[in-house]
Amino acid sequence: MPDVTIFQYEVCPYCCGLKALLDHNKMPYTAIEVNPLTKDEIKKHPLIDQSPDKKYRKVPIALVNSEQVNDSKNIIDRLADLRGSASPTLKSLDKCSEEEKADIDWAYDKLVILFPPNIYRTLSESYEAFEYMSKSASTWTAWQKLVLRTTGSLFMWLVSPKLKKKYNITDERQELLDAIADWMKRVSDKGGKFRGGESPNMADLIIYGQLSAMRDMTTLKVLQDSNAEFKAWYARCREAVGPSQRRS
């Protein structure tokens, strides 16, 4: 097994989609929570390239056997290459079927962009979304966590309308509900428990993981309460993914 360290935000859907694949495939990893304001965990890590022309600050970043790999899709491809033995739920994206790749592209290009306008739509929901700060990073002081949660939630609430405009989103809640209905139609079209049929495929796991980023938020509860089929699919995916393989 490769040695994997992930620099993440706990509520980043790209990070959570990646971790769902690792958990399902029983691949241990270390997760380092990144301060979203300073990003010191990235800036000061000796194995992260700090040269001006190469510095990269977005999460997830992975160290795979001490080699820096940026972006969740690149990380998936790198881990699939190192794994060696074929796994239907951890393979290079260019080896996915056209249908599976289209589903994954939809998740990245359509589904995930609907998350921020939903979880930051009101100040109270934005504060709820940053609740994870109070539990993150034992190296952060209580004061740092309070400042991060307060300033972060206020900032993202103010930014949310700009995100809606950028992505031409009119009714963020209804559009997310429609996207979930679209996904569940794709699942039902296969006639099984998952989009992959009787077992989850990579699209199931990635989309479940992305949605799990909102696991303690009002938005996910609304989605589950509004769509019983989705709630059942989400529970099946959670069981299929299994326990976290995070080491620390």
Distance CA 13, CA 210 (A): 4
Residue 41 and residue 160 in one domain: no
CATH code for position 77: 3.40.30.10
Listed residues 43, 58, 87: the one ending a domain: 87
- pLDDT over 90, % of the chain: 86
Residue 144 and residue 162 in one domain: yes
Identify whether the C-beta of residue 11 lies closer than 8 Å to the C-beta of residue 215.
no
Listed residues 65, 87, 109: the one ending a domain: 87
Model pLDDT for residues 148-201, shown as the tens digit of each residue: 999 999 999 999 999 999 999 999 999 999 999 999 999 999 999 999 999 999
- Would you give per-residue pLDDT tens digits along the chain (248 residues)? 899 999 999 999 999 999 999 999 999 999 999 999 899 999 999 999 888 777 899 999 999 999 999 999 999 999 999 987 678 999 999 999 999 999 999 999 999 999 999 999 999 999 999 998 887 766 788 898 899 999 999 999 999 999 999 999 999 999 999 999 999 999 999 999 999 999 999 999 999 999 999 999 999 999 999 999 999 999 999 999 999 999 97
Which residue is listed with tokens 């994870």? 132
Helix, strand, coil percentages for the chain (3-state, nearest 5): 55, 10, 35
Residue 99 and residue 34 in one domain: no
